Structure 1
């Protein structure tokens, strides 16, 4: 149950906005409503919110344009809602900085799960920022550089690869689900036929092998996810 977490809902349909407010308030959120996209930035400047739930088609500005402006100054997590649910529209939302994308119509149960997943990821990232990853005897992590080295050889990781490795290092010997890794590493939900995470794992394995790191390996656990464990 959320404890007074604040959600700003930007929705111009008064009936649907009321449904959202009633449901989210009932499960414990402090909800603020607005029907005008032009009010988003002023509201965020006046009050701190834990999450922004915003429709894309709004009076006073397109939700994607508003999100682009928002990301220049705010890190507030954003879930977009829209009847425009094509792959192109979802990709456009993520490229502008959305944390999740809910095609309309959706159930209140799904909304709750999506909100919980985003808030859980944000909390994890805040905690992770205070506890940088530790390598081991042969792997040195450089948080500022966002890279690792074995001896004097740097892996030249991308930010996504470093984020993936850091999460695996914090959870050595623990199987991490794909759903969890998608939220923490790629900042979006996992779908059944999505292979983007597998690609990043493959690249990370290759780069660690290239610098001679053999103490641990990233193993796939069928039907579950990945685990960083001592090499056999």
Structure 2
């Protein structure tokens, strides 16, 4: 069984990854096309919001690189519409690097956010991290795997989580975060560990992606009736899931 799963993962990893770049800056999109094509990705480019949304929903892509300031339909609106039709992973890359823009991008369902200007090397690390997670998801067991504690229930196959029978509406990243916290319930998990286990990459000094995902999980649990303190911050150490509060 283990050998079979490993073989499937290797087969998936060897397939060229398909990237969709939705970016209206022709110079930057050209650099992205050249850079990732040289790294043996299959890259498509769209310069407008409506065309990008059509391509993202109709195409079979492994990852979307999405700008926010787009003509016709801005990136946050595009992402919100896309999430109603497709779970394709999205990394937002935008000159709007302020915290509110990052928060809104992640709320709308982005898997990661990288402010401009950025280095191609850093973007490549984040792209590779998301694609590793995609490869793992493709070899999930066909039979649903359920895990529960208190009123919280997680289904590994569908990546859905329920509290008091209410669907929490988690994104794939939020589901993985809650799943890792549940697997290590009661233990304090450091940020570096969670970045590797959930986002499949290291954390930068000013990187707040994990904090924002934690905040969203807390809010969705709270909205479903769970205690605010179910996911607890241990200052200077990390995060822990308090199952007594579930």
What residue is the counterpart of 1:79 in the other structure?
A: 91
Contact 2:195 2:203 in 1 (8 A): yes
The structure 1 residue matched to 2:110, chosen from 71, 74, 98, is 98
Residues paired across the two proteins, number: 200
| 1:148-180: CA deviation from partner (whole Å, max 9, x where unpaired) | 9xxxxx9x9x787975464467799xx982212
Question: How many angstroms does 1:200 deviate by?
Answer: 6.1
| 1:73-115: CA deviation from partner (whole Å, max 9, x where unpaired) | 1111111111110111110111111111111111110111010
- Higher mean displacement: 161-170 or 55-64: 161-170
What pairs with 1:1-232 in structure 2 (closer than 5 Å)? 3-128=15-140, 130=142, 143=155, 146=161, 163-164=176-177, 166-167=179-180, 177-183=193-199, 190=203, 192=205, 196=211, 202=232, 205-206=241-242, 208-209=243-244
What residue is the counterpart of 1:223 in the other structure?
A: none
Structure 1 stretches of at least 4 aligned residues deviating more than 6 Å after TM superposition: 158-162, 168-172
Counterpart Cα distance in 2 of 1:43 and 1:210: 43
Counterpart Cα distance in 2 of 1:49 and 1:8: 7
What residue is the counterpart of 1:228 in the other structure?
A: none
After superposition, the CA RMSD in angstroms is: 4.2
| 1:192-220: CA deviation from partner (whole Å, max 9, x where unpaired) | 575845976548643x3568xxxxxxxxx
